[in-house]
Structure 1
Amino acid sequence: MHRSYQPLKPVTNRYLQQRWDQNNYDNHRRKVTSALPVVDNKGSRTPAHVQLKLKKLQLQDERLSVIDRDNRLLASKLSDIVCSKGLVEHQNHYHLRSLNVNKRREELLLVSRQNQAIYQRITSRQSEYRRQLWLDDWERAERRRDDISRYPRGLVEKQKSLRKVKFAAVNGSERSTSCSNTDTDKTDRTSRDT
């Protein structure tokens, strides 16, 4: 009974009412799919005079005609100049000179004289640095350093080249370790001797 058609209004025959309702619904759906818009949403057509722009084309043609006329005039003038022998003397035979060249020359001579005087003073001076005193002082400082140092110079490099790696057995497990310190070598030797 739950699958049977339940109309909205009381009817005598449910089966017929279902057929009629389905038919009405199908007609409604067909009308909805075939409906056309009422409002015209297409854009307005642009007028021909706006699309073509005759005034712009006319101005462009006039501009091109003026340019052509000017080019023809210029070409004729250039051909006249090339064909003629030239009547104008355009050679300049004078040299350009500055008005204050003498003053600049005097200033240059003054600066060069001053530079020469400075150079002479520099080359005639004796050096105030005494290189030999510096070397003597350095040697004295090295001698003092060697005197007060615990080990003489160059001993560390000699020890590095003579030092050898020794292996010693550890008491709990028979592992061997490398030892590079000379103090530990001395203690190992004294412990082995005793």
Structure 2
Amino acid sequence: METPGRPETVRLTMQSREYKFLPSSRNKYLQEKWKKAYDVHRGKVKSMKPTICINPPKNFDHLTLSLKNKQHQEAVKIQRENDRLKKKISDIMATPGRGDNRNDYEKKSLHKEKRQRELISISKQNQMIQFRLSQCKPHCSARKWHEDWLNTLKLRDRIGHYPRGSAKQQKEQDNGKVDSKEK
């Protein structure tokens, strides 16, 4: 039987390259052991890597790309874009406005009336609270608080072992006493 697309001679040469395992012994166990060893060998041969590198050489980007040229092209592109924007801005500045910038639209709210009623009621309540606070008389007097504070200061000065005030105040008091004695 001939394979389609292949001449008979090619098929015969392909078959002749294949190894046919021929039993050299009549011992079944020995024959099986040799067949396994041969299968292991064939697996190793199939997975073997070539000793000569047949891959094409590496391509280095710095050799194939002209980065300086690419950078220059980007700079030119940016400059062109900047010039275009400058031209647009100068055109806008040179011509008067074309559109109407007035907005006569009045905002409409669904709950405007309710919010106004609530605002009026809150302001009335605030006025009532303010009126009650203004009519209310204080329970404590400021004069009594001041007298209590003076009494507290006197008691504190009597109880203290050392005189009150910082060292600077003490020096000033001492200097004032010396000056008054000299006179």
Q: What TM-score comes out, normalization by structure 2 length?
A: 0.33
Bigger helix share: 2
Larger RCO of the pair (alpha carbons < 8 Å, separation 6+)? 1
Q: What TM-score comes out, normalization by structure 1 length?
A: 0.31
Q: Select the structure of larger CA radius of gyration.
A: 1
